[in-house]
Amino acid sequence: MYFPLEYDEPVFRPPSEAYSLILQLTLGCSWNRCAFCEMYSSKKFKVRKEEDIIKEIKEVASISTDIKKVFLADGNAMVLSTAKLLRIINEINKAFPRVTRISAYALPKDINSKTDDELKQLSEAGLKLLYVGVESGDDELLKLINKGETFNSTVDGLQKARKAGIKLSVMILNGLGGKNYSAQHAENSAKAINLIQPEFLSTLVLSFPYGEDHFKKRFKGDFKALSTLELIEEMKIFIENLELENSVFRSDHASNYLVLKGNLNRDKQKFLDNINSVLQSPENALLRPEWARGL
């Protein structure tokens, strides 16, 4: 089937954007320095020309105007100026009148660089959801992984987006600090999430696409990887400390050993009971084996 867009690979999108039109506004990630992340290590960050993006929107619309969701790629299209984002979003709305949701990955610094009014304009134009890799709420760990964010910058940015009416899907990285930072990572991540109150929360498990030694070289501290049960113990501390009003929670990414799905705080006790039974009798636990996790 003919499709008019030629993507600059690799292209990443959240699982929930599987049926969205993916438009690359930028290539790579403008930060590209997090110790655990290899997503865009093969790409040099680049802002694509607006005329090329608008041409692509028109080409897709010439085939079908029946697009309901659009995801703005790559790593942080939100780094673009508000004026440019608004022009592109307006073109999307014109080309696809049935569009209901425009979304993108974002870094807290991208959000913080915009005023409340600018965020409101983006939200009203159709930017309805931002996906943010918070990774951790622990300042010491955020420094060790070179995230370029702090507890405060993360909470401030994400609260600002929510205030503007933009929904948030945030991710915490289980095991990120290894044994030395596990408890503080879990506790401070929960503190940050409680202040943000995201609509969607998920946890992924730290993995080592280029091997553990490669990660250790980039981690600016003493990293000792957690065992499977220690990862689950860290999840227990994290969930115990969460106080959420109404967040959809998922730990069902391919990297997770223990799948948990539900709503927080509604299902908090159910999750903790599940975790406790795994910790008490790991031999009877339903954990995903390595081969099933594809790692």
Binding interface with ligand SF4 (CB under 6 A): 29, 31-34, 37, 39-40, 75, 107, 133
> Least Å distance between CB 278 and ligand SF4?
28
> Least Å distance between CB 29 and ligand SF4?
3
Q: Which of 295, 257, 290, 254 is nearest to 275 (CA)?
A: 257
> Least Å distance between CB 147 and ligand SF4?
7
8 A C-beta contact, residue 171 and residue 135: yes
Q: Which is nearer to ligand SF4, 148 or 221 (CB)?
A: 148
User: How far is 105 from 20, CA to CA, in rounded Å?
Assistant: 14
User: How far is 287 from 232, CA to CA, in rounded Å?
Assistant: 10
Q: Which is nearer to ligand SF4, 57 or 171 (CB)?
A: 171
Q: Which stretches of the chain are assigned E, i.e. beta strand?
A: 21-24, 26-27, 46-47, 69-73, 101-105, 127-135, 167-174, 200-205, 247-250, 261-264
Q: Which residues, at least 6 apart from 59, have a Cβ–Cβ distance to it below 8 Å?
A: 4, 5
**Beta-bridge mates of residue 171:** 133, 202
> Least Å distance between CB 35 and ligand SF4?
9
The letter for the amino acid at 188 is N
Q: Which is nearer to ligand SF4, 35 or 125 (CB)?
A: 35
> Least Å distance between CB 38 and ligand SF4?
8
